């Protein structure tokens, strides 16, 4: 039997990504942002797909057996229309602004695959939370496990509890929109002045500076937490149903004033809010995990979804010992869904046998599934731009880098395959000495140009974890938080100023000890990344400490570097001391070209594209008019209202989304059959309703006539000049 080539994609929300699996093996996986250089790039991942195919040496994309999309756009449309009906007429602006692009992108996946990739094979879609669950279970080392997924929202589901066994995943319960732990956390992210879908981990990092003074207020006013971990949000305080903001004036009144403006000074209120919502989140996650245990009676837990990146909450699940073992998908956000959807199709739809790794390790290994750059390619870059470097023997590299770290140098480390997921796990990392009291503020202020309160993660030898941290399991993906061992901690004076507290020495590894003496740990084992293990080991030989600082190789607002060019550009534009790039060491900083900018844009002859897009504008305006008329019709549509019953003892639903559907290219002449296909599984909107029928027909019609928008890909490379350097 020929090998199955399956390409999973996630896009059009945030962090679009692509994953290629051949049979049950991951070949390549990467986020689009690393190639496009647009942080959290949501666009159709043509560049990530190109990389995946390159890795497998596939020139003709039609060798792929199936492309699998990470959510069901038709069900999502139902939820979106339902939301607008409920919020009518406040959401007119959002409808007019967003729906145009939404239907164009989401209802035309097969057409997009054909036009952008030249792919004319089969395209399927997998429900969003099933994609998350699959990303957690199938790569895990478990044959049987409970699976917990929690994020903002997929189609309707905002969280799910599944049971995985062998090659099957059964979704047992799901919690539905608008009751969402992810959205609750994001509301606080917004309110404290950080970016939604990106700033959540900053809020988590801020939490230890505050006190949980708002916990009661949150639980009394904003939500009801049931004993099974399900929640009912009090929609009166949130703005995501009827505005483009996460919170509203009621929310602001509750917490004594408007949301913090981004980039303004942090006050004690933000610190306390961060601490309080973290406490509430942990309580809910723990209850969910206990309920998952009760429903499945499994000893193992798999987790995914954006909320699974909350490593503090993950650490609490571990501490409570609800499950014997936990495996969390390192690309827990939507990027990981590209991997999950591909695996779900392979195992569940094609019914292929699943084999667990004999080594009891995850088949995702260390999650290094991005591009690698050979020494020859790196040297080609350095030579071309006349950059001075020192060649290192591969056998001496680890010792050299370890020695530099022991001297207190900040080292940009670029080697091997790029990580898949939001964390840099050694191959695209900035490394420092964990013993130094100044490392944290130096890296934050002089290298990453970001808020000084933000903590750094330790990379610790897997054999030495318990020497430093109260953790007795591996944490290869930086997804668990644990306390620094008490005997290493130093008593500090209580100071109120956040910046003074950052600079207090709290342990003998101060650079990785957060203000509450916790640390977000990456355990490094030789079988995942031997080169990185050796670097830390060499540092240990020099200093006696088997732990170093690891932070992602980028500056604030930029995606993690992918190529040697980006690594060098980041190096020369920051105050890093050394760049260890492949087997070359660079210390001198040379402006390789006048006017070099760190983020490469591709605007050469871009006028062609921009002119085309400008020409599309009149059509866009016409479409807006049509959409506006359609919006007026929403008031006549009957539907089942979102539940607001705070008296119910559980908000988990047993009606779950689990069907794989085939997405077909649409024939504009057959609107009726498209309508039937789209509304096949709808449950909250009455599809016999004539007004709804009319609205959908019009929207489908618009999506089919619309030119595909590519605002994010506004650059071009000349077709008449060679792209050389």
Phi-psi label, residue 231: left if phi above 0, alpha if psi -120 to 50, beta otherwise: beta
For other proteins, give the closer residue by CB, 383 or 467. Answer: 383
User: Binding to other proteins (CB under 8 A): which residues in 355-384?
Assistant: 371, 374, 376-377, 380-381, 383-384
> CB 531: neighbour CB atoms within 10 A?
17
Candidates 414, 417, 416; CA nearest to 429 is 414
Q: How far is the CB of 620 from other proteins (least distance, A)?
A: 18
The yes or no reply on residue 594 touching other proteins (CB under 8 A) is yes
Pick from 490, 495, 604, 646 the residue near other proteins by CB under 8 A.
604
Q: What is the DSSP string of 540-593?
A: HHHHS--EEEEEESS-TTSPPP-SHHHHHHHHHTS--SEEEETTEEE------S
Give CA 55 to chain center in angstroms. 22
Distance CA(3)–CA(172), nearest Å, equals 32
Q: How far is the CB of 3 from other proteins (least distance, A)?
A: 18
From 207-215, 356-364, 453-461, 608-616, span contacting other proteins (CB under 8 A)? 608-616
Beta strand pairing call for 300-304 and 144-150: parallel
* Binding range to other proteins, per CB under 8 A, among 50-58, 318-326, 358-366, 430-438: 50-58
Give CA–CA dist 58/194, Å, rounded. 41
Backbone CA torsion sign across 419, 420, 424, 429? positive
Interface with other proteins, residue 1, by CB under 8 A? no
Q: Is 668 in the site for other proteins (CB under 8 A)?
A: no
Cβ density class 603-642: b for 16+ within 10 Å, e for less: eeeeeebeeeeeeeeeeeeebeeebeebbebbeebebeeb
Binds other proteins by CB under 8 A, chosen from 261, 597, 617, 618: 597
CB of 338 to other proteins, least distance (A): 17
Q: Which is nearer to other proteins, 165 or 713 (CB)?
A: 713
Enumerate residues 133-192 that contact other proteins by CB under 8 A. none
Nearest CA to 279 out of 323, 312, 319 is that of: 312
Cis amide bond preceding 183, omega within 30:
no
Nearer to other proteins, 122 or 643 (CB): 122
Residue 503 beta carbon to other proteins: minimum distance, rounded to whole angstroms: 37
Minimum CB separation of residue 40 from other proteins in Å reads 18
From the number of C-beta atoms within 10 Å of its C-beta (0-12, 13-18, 19+), residue 595 rates as exposed
Token duo for residue 367 = 């999650």
Give the nearest distance from C-beta 414 to other proteins in angstroms. 14
Collect all residues with Cβ–Cβ distance below 8 Å to 295 and sequence separation of at least 6: 146, 161, 163, 172, 173
**Minimal distance in Å, beta carbon 535 to other proteins?**
25
* Count of residues near other proteins by CB under 8 A: 68
At closest approach, how far in Å is the CB of 582 from other proteins? 13
| Backbone torsions φ then ψ of 221, nearest 5 degrees | -110, -40
Residue 244 makes contact with other proteins by CB under 8 A = no
Query: Whose Cβ is closer to other proteins: residue 53's or residue 67's?
Result: 53
Q: Shortest approach of other proteins to residue 43 CB, angstroms?
A: 11
Between 17 and 153, CB nearer to other proteins:
17
Taking CB under 8 A as the criterion, the residue among 90, 93, 120, 244 binding other proteins is: 120
Report if residue 386 touches other proteins, rule: CB under 8 A.
yes
How many other β-carbons are positioned within 10 Å of the β-carbon of residue 461?
22
Q: Binding string to other proteins for residues 79 to 118, with x set by CB under 8 A, is what? A: --------------------------------x--xxxxx
Contact between 46 and other proteins per CB under 8 A? yes
Is there binding between residue 198 and other proteins (CB under 8 A)? Answer: no
598 or 694, CB closer to other proteins? 598
Residues of span 691-710 touching other proteins by CB under 8 A: 710
Strand partners, 523: 460
617 part of the interface to other proteins, by CB under 8 A: no
CB of 424 to other proteins, least distance (A): 17
Q: What is the DSSP letter of 3?
A: P
CB nearer to other proteins: give 89 or 118. 118
Q: For helices 394-406 and 530-543, what crossing angle results, to 10°?
A: 40
Q: Which is nearer to other proteins, 602 or 694 (CB)?
A: 602
Q: Which of 3, 541, 612, 638 is close enough to bind other proteins by CB under 8 A?
A: 612
CB 66 within 8 Å of CB 346: no
Nearest approach, Cβ of residue 431 and other proteins (Å)? 23
Strand, coil or helix: what is 516?
A: coil
Q: Rule CB under 8 A: say whether 563 interacts with other proteins.
A: yes
Nearer to other proteins, 379 or 501 (CB): 379
By beta-carbon proximity to other proteins, the closer residue of 1 and 721 is: 721
Complex with other proteins: residue 497 or 719, whichever CB lies closer: 719
- DSSP string covering 272-293, please? HHHHHHHHHHHHHHHHHHHHHH
Residue 562 contacts other proteins per CB under 8 A: yes
Residue 123 — φ and ψ, nearest 5°?
Answer: -125, 130
Q: Is 615 in the site for other proteins (CB under 8 A)?
A: no
Residue whose C-alpha is closest to residue 343's, from 330, 334, 354: 354
Q: Which of 385, 449, 675, 694 binds other proteins (CB under 8 A)?
A: 385
Give 228 or 565: the residue with its C-beta nearer to other proteins. 565
- For the CB of residue 29, give the shortest distance to other proteins in the complex, in Å: 14
Helix (H) or strand (E) holding 66: strand 66-69
Residue 36: CB minimum distance to other proteins, A: 7
Minimum CB distance to other proteins, residue 122 (Å): 15
Q: What is the Cα–Cα distance from 534 to 537, expressed in whole angstroms?
A: 5
Classify residue 668 as left (phi > 0), alpha (psi -120 to 50) or beta: alpha
Compute how many other C-beta atoms are within 10 angstroms of the C-beta atom of residue 478: 22
Residues 53-72 that bind other proteins (CB under 8 A): 53-54, 57-62
Strand partners, 519: 482
Choices 163-171, 329-337, 546-554, 589-597; region in contact with other proteins by CB under 8 A: 589-597
Sequence-distant (6+) residues with CB within 8 A of 467 are: 485, 546
Interacting residue with other proteins among 334, 565, 579, 695 (CB under 8 A): 565
Q: Which ranges constitute the DSSP H helices of 192-334?
A: 200-206, 215-217, 249-254, 268-296, 311-320
* By the rule CB under 8 A, 602 interacts with other proteins: yes
- Map the footprint of other proteins across residues 221-240, applying CB under 8 A: none
Q: Is 717 a residue that touches other proteins (CB under 8 A)?
A: yes
Q: How far is the CB of 557 from other proteins (least distance, A)?
A: 18
Q: Please name the residues in contact with 668: beta carbons below 8 A apart, sequence gap of 6 or more.
A: 701, 704, 705
- Look at residues 293, 344, 345, 286 and name the one whose alpha carbon lies nearest to residue 320: 286
Strands 168-176 and 652-653, bridge-based pairing: antiparallel
Least CB distance to other proteins at residue 230 (A): 43
Site for other proteins in 16-45 (CB under 8 A): 34-36
Distance of closest approach, residue 375 Cβ to other proteins, in angstroms: 9
Using CB under 8 A, list all residues that contact other proteins. 34-36, 46-47, 50-51, 53-54, 57-62, 111, 114-118, 120, 371, 374, 376-377, 380-381, 383-386, 562-565, 569, 592-597, 600-609, 612, 665, 710, 713, 715-725
């Amino acid at each position: 039997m020929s090998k199955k080539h399956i390409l999973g994609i996630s896009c059009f929300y945030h962090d679009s990504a692509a994953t290629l699996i051949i049979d049950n093996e991951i070949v390549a996986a990467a986020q689009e942002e690393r190639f496009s250089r647009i942080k959290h790039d949501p666009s159709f991942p043509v560049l990530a797909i190109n990389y995946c195919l390159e890795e497998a040496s596939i020139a003709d994309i039609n060798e792929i057996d199936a492309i699998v999309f990470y959510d069901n756009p038709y069900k999502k449309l139902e939820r979106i229309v339902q939301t607008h009906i409920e919020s009518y007429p406040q959401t007119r602006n959002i409808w007019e602004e967003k729906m145009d692009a939404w239907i164009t992108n989401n209802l035309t996946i097969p057409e997009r695959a054909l036009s952008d990739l030249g792919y004319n094979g089969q395209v399927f879609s997998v429900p969003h939370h099933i994609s998350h669950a699959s990303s957690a279970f199938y790569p895990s080392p478990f044959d049987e496990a409970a699976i917990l997924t929690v994020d903002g929202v997929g189609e309707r589901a905002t969280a799910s509890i599944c049971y995985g066994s062998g090659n099957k995943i059964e979704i047992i319960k799901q919690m539905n929109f608008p009751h969402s732990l992810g959205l609750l956390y994001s509301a606080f992210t917004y309110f404290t002045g950080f970016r939604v879908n990106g700033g959540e981990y900053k809020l988590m990092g801020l939490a230890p500076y505050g006190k949980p003074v708002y916990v009661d207020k949150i639980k009394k006013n904003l939500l009801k937490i049931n004993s099974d971990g399900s929640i009912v949000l009090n929609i009166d305080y949130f703005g995501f149903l009827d505005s483009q903001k996460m919170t509203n004036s009621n929310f602001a009144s509750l917490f004594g004033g408007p949301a913090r403006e981004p980039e303004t000074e942090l006050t004690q209120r933000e610190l306390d809010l961060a601490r309080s919502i973290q406490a509430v989140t942990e309580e809910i996650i723990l209850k969910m995990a206990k309920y998952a245990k009760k429903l499945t009676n499994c000893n193992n837990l798999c987790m995914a979804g954006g909320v699974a990146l909350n490593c503090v909450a993950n650490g609490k699940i571990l501490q409570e010992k609800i499950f014997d073992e936990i495996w969390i998908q390192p690309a827990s956000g939507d990027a990981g869904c590209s991997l999950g959807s591909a695996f779900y199709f392979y195992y569940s739809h094609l019914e292929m046998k699943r084999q667990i790794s004999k080594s009891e390790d995850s088949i995702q290994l260390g999650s290094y599934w991005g591009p690698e750059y050979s020494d020859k390619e790196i040297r080609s870059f350095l030579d071309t731009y006349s950059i001075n470097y020192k060649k290192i023997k591969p056998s001496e590299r680890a010792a050299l880098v370890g020695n530099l770290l022991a001297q207190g140098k900040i080292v940009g480390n670029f080697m091997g395959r790029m990580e898949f997921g939001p964390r840099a796990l050694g191959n695209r990392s900035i490394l420092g000495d964990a013993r130094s009291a100044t490392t944290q503020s130096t890296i934050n202020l002089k290298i990453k140009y970001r808020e000084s309160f933000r903590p750094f993660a330790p990379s610790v030898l897997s054999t030495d974890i318990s020497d430093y941290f109260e953790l007795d399991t591996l944490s290869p993906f930086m997804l668990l938080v644990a306390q620094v061992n008490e005997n290493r901690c130093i008593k500090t004076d209580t100071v109120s100023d956040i910046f003074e507290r950052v600079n207090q020495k709290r342990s003998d590894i101060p650079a990785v000890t957060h203000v509450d003496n916790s640390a977000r740990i990456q355990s490094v084992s030789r079988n995942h990344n031997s080169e990185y293990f050796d670097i830390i080991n060499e540092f240990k030989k020099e200093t006696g400490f088997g732990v170093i600082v690891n932070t992602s190789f980028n500056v604030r607002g930029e995606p993690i570097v992918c190529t040697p060019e980006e690594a060098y550009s980041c190096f020369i534009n920051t105050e890093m001391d050394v760049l260890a790039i492949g087997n070359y060491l660079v210390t001198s900083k040379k402006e390789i070209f006048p006017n070099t900018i760190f983020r490469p844009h591709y605007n050469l002859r871009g006028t062609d594209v921009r002119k085309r897009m400008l020409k599309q504008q009149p059509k866009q305006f016409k479409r807006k008019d049509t959409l506006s008329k359609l919006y007026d019709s929403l008031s006549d549509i009957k539907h089942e209202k979102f539940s607001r019953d705070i008296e119910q003892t559980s908000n988990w639903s047993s009606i779950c989304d689990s069907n794989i559907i085939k997405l077909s290219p649409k024939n504009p002449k057959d609107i009726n059959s498209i309508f039937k296909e789209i509304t096949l599984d709808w449950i909250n909107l009455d599809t016999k309703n004539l007004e709804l029928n009319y609205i959908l027909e019009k929207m489908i019609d618009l999506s089919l006539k619309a030119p595909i928008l590519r605002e994010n890909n506004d650059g071009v490379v000349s077709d008449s000049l060679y792209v050389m350097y």
